[in-house]
Amino acid sequence: MSDIIRVGFVGLGDIGKPMATRLAGRQTASGLSLGVFDLATAPVEELVAAGAQAADSAGGLAARSDVLCVMVNNDRQVRAVLDEVLAAPGVGGGLTVAVHATVAPETPAELEAIAARRGVRLVDAPVSGGAMGAGTGELAALVGGSAEAFAAVRPVLDVLAAKVVHAGPIGAGTKFKLARNMMHYAAYTAATEAQRLAEAAGLDIVALGKVVRHTDALTGGPGAIMHRDSTAEMEPGSFWHTTFGHLKQLAEKDLDLAIALADELDVDVPLARLARERLAPGLGFPEEK
């Protein structure tokens, strides 16, 4: 048996293409060989130029792969790829499918059960870090699946991601990604609220964006508060109660001032008002009666 891990990659879009390109450039050093498939011809040609082999179909690629990475857009496309893969001659035991797309929470377990009928292992392994992280190999890969399936895909993920987390059983990677992205897009929405406030105050919102990116790089942004291993109410006098007590005081003061400015300028800031109400109990302080 060859020591080379045969990797197939389906889906060469905005994030899939740089992921596959990174694999192509590290085939020899990482003990991998790479085959690719996409409905679009241009990205396939680019990957072939980078050293990958082209396949005529997802099923044909799966039949000659040990690990098949699937980076398509949505549940429907993931299911279509898996249906084709499982119907292909030569596909069976020895193949592990890694679903990198972000899908519905129940989808990975359904797909794992379907794949198991053909002896195929499956993990959900969504990634975080965008196209830039994909190109540099600095993604975070969030994996749900059995220990055996995780071990099978780990050498591939180690090339693609600087942080690989085995989040738990099948579906855990997807739930991990959804929690992360919920915060991501809620923060984006808060940013639009701050832009409206700044604009109404006559400020340069491009400069505001530069300040936010600068200071978030120093403080860690929202992730800076995410060190506790529980969301339960904190014990008075504990380390985090004391640490977050200072944060709570500053946050409530600044939110009160920002909301007052918004009222003065007639700017609607519902997220700021909700933050003023929910930040303290969210941190673990008791609800105010």
CATH number for 224: 1.10.1040.10
What is the rounded CA–CA span in Å between residue 193 and residue 259? 11
Residues 154 and 187 in one domain: no
- Residue that is last in its domain, among 105, 136, 171: 171
Active-site residue, from 175, 177, 210, 248: 177
What is the rounded CA–CA span in Å between residue 107 and residue 240? 37
Residue 288 lies in a domain: no
Domain with 56 in it: what CATH number?
Answer: 3.40.50.720
Residues 70 and 144 in one domain: yes
- Tens digits of pLDDT across the chain (289 residues): 458 999 999 999 999 999 999 999 999 888 999 999 999 999 999 999 999 999 999 999 999 999 999 999 999 999 999 999 999 999 988 999 999 999 999 999 999 999 999 999 999 999 999 999 999 999 999 999 999 999 999 999 999 999 999 999 999 999 999 999 999 999 999 999 999 999 999 999 999 999 999 999 999 999 999 999 999 999 999 999 999 999 999 999 999 999 999 999 999 999 999 999 999 999 999 987 6
The total domain count for the chain is: 2
Q: Which domain holds residue 72?
A: 5-171
Contacts of range 11-14, beta carbons closer than 8 Å, 24 or more positions apart: 11/38, 11/69, 11/70, 11/71, 11/72, 11/73, 11/77, 11/81, 11/100, 11/101, 12/36, 12/38, 12/40, 12/43, 12/44, 12/46, 12/47, 12/71, 13/38, 13/43, 13/71, 13/72, 13/73, 14/131
Residues 133 and 198 in one domain: no
Whole-prediction pTM: 0.90
**Is the CB of residue 51 less than 8 Å from the CB of residue 24?**
yes
Residues 103 and 140 in one domain: yes
Residue 79 lies in a domain: yes
Is 177 one of the annotated active-site residues of the chain?
Answer: yes
Residues 236 and 139 in one domain: no
